[in-house]
Amino acid sequence: MANSSENAKQIGRNITNLLIEKEKTQQELADAIGVSKSTVSTWTNGKRIPRMDKVDLMCDYFGVSRSDILSSHGFHVHPLPMPKSAEEDFKRKVLEIMEEQQRQQQEYYEDETVQIVTDKLRTNPEYGVLFKAASNVKPEDIELVKRFIEKFSD
């Protein structure tokens, strides 16, 4: 069985969800049932449990049953459907972003330097070992190897 603190938190979530679903503020609820906004806040934060007379007033205000406020299954906000135009705008924007990412990736792999390095990695397994080893290397060690390679590559 849930303890008093868990009950208070669940009731607070239920009240918060009802406020969201009904598009009401804590102040509007407080005014409607004759309590202060800070009292409603203590309920929604799960710090206190409302008295039964206040629960009944909230039930009337929200048009719900006691179980919607007091039960552990709670009152769940049902998302509003997205307007068709907003849904189409969203889909179009996602497609634009995906196309841009694909274009950038294609440009990257078409770069001649990237192709040379990729071919070396693909055809020489020892380079793969270097990359695996490099994953645990400190930046200063990488810098030292870089200077070593530069010195002997001239």
Tens of pLDDT, residue by residue over 95-130, are 888 888 888 777 766 777 767 776 776 677 666 666
Q: Residue 83: pLDDT band by 50, 70, 90 thresholds? A: confident
List the chain domain ranges: 4-70, 84-152
Residues 6+ apart with CB under 8 A from 141: none
Please report, to the nearest 10 degrees, the dihedral formed by the alpha carbons of residues 25, 72, 68, 61 taken in order: -40
Half-sphere exposure of 123 (CA within 13 A, CB side): 6
CA–CA dist 29, 17 (Å, integer):
13
Per-residue confidence (pLDDT) for residue 78, from 0 to 100: 54
For domain 4-70, the CATH superfamily is: lambda repressor-like DNA-binding domains (1.10.260.40)
Strands (E), the chain: none
Is residue 77 over pLDDT 80?
no
**pLDDT (0 to 100) of residue 6:** 86
Dihedral sign, Cα of residue 9, residue 69, residue 72, residue 80: negative
Q: pLDDT of 134-153, one tens digit each?
A: 566 666 776 777 777 777 76
> Six-digit token pair at 151?
């010195």
State residue 94's pLDDT score: 86
CB within 8 Å of 30: residues ≥ 6 apart: 36, 37, 39, 40
**What is the average pLDDT across 81-92?**
77
Instruction: Describe the chain by its helix, strand, coil percentages, rounded to 5.
Output: 75, 0, 25
Averaged pLDDT, 87-101: 85
